[in-house]
Amino acid sequence: METDRLVIAVDGPAGSGKSTIAKRIADILGLEYIDTGAMYRALTLKVINEGIDSKDTESILELLQTTSIYFKDNHIYLDGIMVDDKIRKNIINKNVSNVAKIKKVREKMVEIQQKLSKSSNIIMDGRDIGTVVLPRANFKFFIIASVEERARRRYKELIEKGEKDISYNQILTEIKRRDKLDSTRKISPLRKSPESYEIDTTNKTIDQSINEIIDIIKGGN
């Protein structure tokens, strides 16, 4: 357990609300926020831009050698260019789990994430934060919601961002596929660690979920 700093790990499947929740908690408690999914997404963007198949592990590893991914002022940069919006497109959603299951990709990302976590009070969200990246976190939360609700949220978000040619059913199928890939992969699968607090956001507003988490942190239990 960390003693001198506040370190919070947040994990959960796509569309569970973990990023929204983690960002708001960072603001409320004055913590640094790290969105680890953005790093896997940024590499996936480069893979797609280079015309590489997301299953072509060898080419992806070669690409990784000459790729720089970092955060500055809460924005994500790929080779020096801010890519906040580009990494949220549905084509990235569809390919990111293939890229994220590659062992050497994970090793590099986890190394960066652990370095980032050393200096300040922090909240980090992803799939393997409580289990692998920050096993000594003071608090671990596992955010869930029904798959239909998660697909509804993701569909709404993509439509609001102007994506065309998508349907709710297609997004539902894609989310189920990504859930399966993320939770059955060999290396650091999405898994709730026994000491995590499970927060089900299905029938809750964001504020309700946030309050539940803040109460747990303030209660110190």
Residue whose C-alpha is closest to residue 80's, from 89, 88, 71: 71
In this complex, which beta carbon is closest to ligand CDP, that of residue 3 or of residue 34?
A: 34
**What DSSP designation does 190 have?**
-
Residue nearest to ligand CDP (CB): 37
Q: Coil, strand, or helix at residue 150?
A: helix
Angle between helices 147-160 and 168-184 (to 10 degrees): 120
- According to the binding rule CB under 6 A, does residue 40 interact with ligand CDP? yes
Q: Which stretch binds ligand CDP (CB under 6 A): 49-57, 68-76, 127-135, 200-208?
A: 127-135
User: CB atoms < 10 A from the CB of 73, how many?
Assistant: 6
- According to the binding rule CB under 6 A, does residue 178 interact with ligand CDP? yes
Going across the sheet that includes 32-35, the strands are 32-35, 122-126, 7-11, 139-144, 197-200
Residue 92: CB minimum distance to ligand CDP, A: 8
- According to the binding rule CB under 6 A, does residue 21 interact with ligand CDP? no
Give the binding-site size for ligand CDP (rule: CB under 6 A). Answer: 16
| Of 7, 8, 10, 14, the one binding ligand CDP by CB under 6 A | 14
- According to the binding rule CB under 6 A, does residue 196 interact with ligand CDP? no
**What DSSP designation does 11 have?**
E
Residue whose C-alpha is closest to residue 53's, from 113, 102, 4, 2: 102
In this complex, which beta carbon is closest to ligand CDP, that of residue 183 or of residue 215?
A: 183
| Of 96, 144, 213, 217, the one binding ligand CDP by CB under 6 A | 96
- According to the binding rule CB under 6 A, does residue 117 interact with ligand CDP? no
Tell me the C-alpha distance between 161 and 155, whole Å.
10
- Residues at the site binding ligand CDP, with contacts judged by CB under 6 A: 14-15, 19, 36-37, 40-41, 96-97, 100, 126-129, 178, 182
